[in-house]
Structure 1
Amino acid sequence: MTGAWWAAAPAMLVSAAILLVPGLIATAPLRLAWVARIALSSAVSIACIGIAGVAFSLFGVFFAAWQVVLVALVLGVVAWLIRGWVPDAPRERVRWWWLASAWVLSALLIAVVAFWGVASPEQFSQTYDNVFHLGAISHILAGGDASSLTLRTLIEPQRAWAPYPSAWHSLVALNVQLCGVSVPVAVNATWIAVCATVWLPGVAWLAQLIARPFESGRVALIALPLGTAFGAMPYALLSWGTLYPTFLATALVPAAIAIPVAVWPPRFRVRVGRAVLAGAAGLAAVLAAIVFAQPRVLATWAVMMAPFVLYFAWRAYRPAWRAGGRHRRRAVTALVAAVGALVVAAGVGFAYVVFRLGLFERPLDDRLGGPQAKASQSVAAGISQVLGQAWPAGSTGTISFPSIPLALFVIVGIVAVWRGRRLRWALVSYLALAILFVIAAGADDVLTKLLTALWYKDRYRLSSALPVFGVAFAALGILVSARWLGHRAVRRRTGAVAFAWGTALVSALTLVVSGGSSAIAVVFALPAASAADEVVSVRQIQFLQDVGRIVPADERLLGDPWDGSAMSLLFGDREPVFPHVNGQWDPHRLLLAQRLGEIETVPEVCQALDALRVRYVVYNPHEFGGGDPIGNQFFAIHDAVGAGLFEPLLTDGESTLYRIDQCGRLPAR
Structure 2
Amino acid sequence: MSWWAAAPAVAAAVGMLLLPGAIVVLPLRMGLVARAAVSSLTSIALIGFAGVVFALGGIGFAAWQPFVLALAAGGLVAVIDRRRTRLAVPAEQSRWRWILLTWAVTAVLIGVVAFSGVASPDRVSQTYDNVFHMSAIAAILDGADASSLTLRTLIETAQVTGFYPAGWHSLVVSVVQLSGVVPTVAANAAWLAVAVAVWVPGAAWLAQVILRQFEPGLVAVVSIPLAAAFGSMPYSLLSWGTLYPTFLATSLLPAAVAVPILAGRALGGAQGLRRWRVLVLGSSAIVGTVSALTFAQPRVLVSLALLLSPLLIGAVVGLLRASLRAGGAARRRAIWSIASGGGVLALAAAAGFAYLVLGLGLFDRPLDQRLGGPQAAATQSVAEGIWQGLAQAWPTGVGGVVAAPAVLLAGFVLVGIGAALRSRGVRWVVVSYVAVVVLFALAAGSDDVVSKVLTALWYKDRYRLSSVAPVLGVTLAALGILMAGRRLQRRARWAERRGVLLPVAATWLVTSTAVVTLVLTGATGSIATVFHLPPARAQTEIVSQAQIDFMARLGDVVPADQRVLGDPWDGSAWTQLFGDREPVFPHVNGQWDAARLTLAYGLDTIETDPAVCAALDELRVRYVLYNPHEFAGGDPAGNHFPAPHRAVEAGLFTEVAADGESALYRIDQCGPLPGEG
TM interval, short-chain normalised: over 0.9
Note the alpha carbon deviations across 1:42-97, whole angstroms, 9 max, x for none.
Answer: 01000000001001111111111221111111111221122156326411123321
* Matched-pair contact (CA < 8 Å) for 1:306–1:342: no
* Aligned pairs (5 A) from 1:128-167: 128-167=128-167
2:656 aligned counterpart, secondary structure: strand
Is 1:581 equivalent to 2:588 in the alignment? yes
* Aligned pairs (5 A) from 1:90-109: 90-109=90-109
- Letter of the 1:474 partner, please give it: A
Is 1:611 equivalent to 2:614 in the alignment? no
Give the one of 520, 523, 527 matched to 2:530.
Answer: 523
For residues 331 and 403 of structure 2, the distance between their equivalents in structure 1, rounded to whole angstroms, comes to 53
- Letter of the 2:411 partner, please give it: L
For residues 108 and 502 of structure 2, the distance between their equivalents in structure 1, rounded to whole angstroms, comes to 22
1:506 aligned counterpart, secondary structure: helix
1:621, CA displacement in angstroms? 0.4
After superposition, the Cα gap between the structure-2 partners of 1:63 and 1:344, relative to the gap in structure 1 and judged at 3 Å, is farther
For residues 613 and 357 of structure 1, the distance between their equivalents in structure 2, rounded to whole angstroms, comes to 36
Is 1:86 equivalent to 2:85 in the alignment? yes
* Matched-pair contact (CA < 8 Å) for 2:270–2:278: no
* Matched-pair contact (CA < 8 Å) for 1:483–1:492: no
- Letter of the 1:496 partner, please give it: P
Give the one of 300, 304, 307 matched to 1:304.
Answer: 307
For residues 502 and 337 of structure 1, the distance between their equivalents in structure 2, rounded to whole angstroms, comes to 52
Partner of 2:641: 634
Give the one of 629, 638, 647 matched to 2:654.
Answer: 647
- Letter of the 2:371 partner, please give it: L
Partner of 1:295: 298
1:352, CA displacement in angstroms? 6.2
Partner of 2:363: 360
Give the one of 260, 281, 286 matched to 2:289.
Answer: 286
The CA RMSD over aligned residues, in Å, is 1.8
Identity %: 55
For residues 380 and 493 of structure 1, the distance between their equivalents in structure 2, rounded to whole angstroms, comes to 38
1:614, CA displacement in angstroms? 0.4
1:355, CA displacement in angstroms? 5.6
* Matched-pair contact (CA < 8 Å) for 1:115–1:520: yes
1:143 aligned counterpart, secondary structure: coil
* Matched-pair contact (CA < 8 Å) for 1:35–1:201: yes
Note the alpha carbon deviations across 1:363-383, whole angstroms, 9 max, x for none.
Answer: 111111211110111111111
For residues 656 and 25 of structure 1, the distance between their equivalents in structure 2, rounded to whole angstroms, comes to 51
Is 1:555 equivalent to 2:554 in the alignment? no
Alignment size in residue pairs: 667
Note the alpha carbon deviations across 1:182-231, whole angstroms, 9 max, x for none.
Answer: 11100000001001111111110110122110000000000000000100
- Letter of the 1:623 partner, please give it: E
After superposition, the Cα gap between the structure-2 partners of 1:134 and 1:355, relative to the gap in structure 1 and judged at 3 Å, is farther
- TM-score, normalised to structure 2's length? 0.95
Is 1:11 equivalent to 2:9 in the alignment? yes
Partner of 1:480: 483
1:353, CA displacement in angstroms? 4.9
For residues 297 and 70 of structure 1, the distance between their equivalents in structure 2, rounded to whole angstroms, comes to 27
- Letter of the 2:157 partner, please give it: P
1:657 aligned counterpart, secondary structure: strand
Partner of 1:72: 70
For residues 361 and 633 of structure 2, the distance between their equivalents in structure 1, rounded to whole angstroms, comes to 28
* Matched-pair contact (CA < 8 Å) for 2:588–2:639: no
Note the alpha carbon deviations across 1:20-60, whole angstroms, 9 max, x for none.
Answer: 01000011111112111110110100000000100111111
Partner of 2:441: 438
For residues 373 and 32 of structure 2, the distance between their equivalents in structure 1, rounded to whole angstroms, comes to 44
For residues 282 and 634 of structure 1, the distance between their equivalents in structure 2, rounded to whole angstroms, comes to 47
* Aligned pairs (5 A) from 1:496-535: 496-535=503-542
* Aligned pairs (5 A) from 1:29-44: 29-44=27-42
Partner of 1:56: 54
* Matched-pair contact (CA < 8 Å) for 1:61–1:144: no
For residues 159 and 243 of structure 2, the distance between their equivalents in structure 1, rounded to whole angstroms, comes to 25
Partner of 1:539: 546
For residues 283 and 337 of structure 1, the distance between their equivalents in structure 2, rounded to whole angstroms, comes to 23
1:632, CA displacement in angstroms? 3.2
* Matched-pair contact (CA < 8 Å) for 1:310–1:339: no
1:345, CA displacement in angstroms? 7.0
After superposition, the Cα gap between the structure-2 partners of 1:127 and 1:356, relative to the gap in structure 1 and judged at 3 Å, is farther
* Matched-pair contact (CA < 8 Å) for 2:589–2:638: no
1:357, CA displacement in angstroms? 4.6
Is 1:667 equivalent to 2:666 in the alignment? no
Note the alpha carbon deviations across 1:504-531, whole angstroms, 9 max, x for none.
Answer: 1101000111122111110000111000
After superposition, the Cα gap between the structure-2 partners of 1:211 and 1:295, relative to the gap in structure 1 and judged at 3 Å, is same
* Aligned pairs (5 A) from 1:159-558: 159-266=159-266, 268=269, 271-272=274-275, 274-332=277-335, 353-354=356-357, 357-487=360-490, 491-558=498-565
1:400 aligned counterpart, secondary structure: coil
- Letter of the 1:11 partner, please give it: A
1:467 aligned counterpart, secondary structure: helix
Structure 2 regions of 5+ residues with no counterpart?
Answer: none
- Letter of the 1:128 partner, please give it: Y
Note the alpha carbon deviations across 1:129-157, whole angstroms, 9 max, x for none.
Answer: 00000000011111140000000110011
* Matched-pair contact (CA < 8 Å) for 1:237–1:244: yes
1:648 aligned counterpart, secondary structure: strand
* Matched-pair contact (CA < 8 Å) for 1:94–1:218: no
* Matched-pair contact (CA < 8 Å) for 2:96–2:217: no
Which stretch has the larger CA shift, 392-401 or 234-243?
A: 392-401
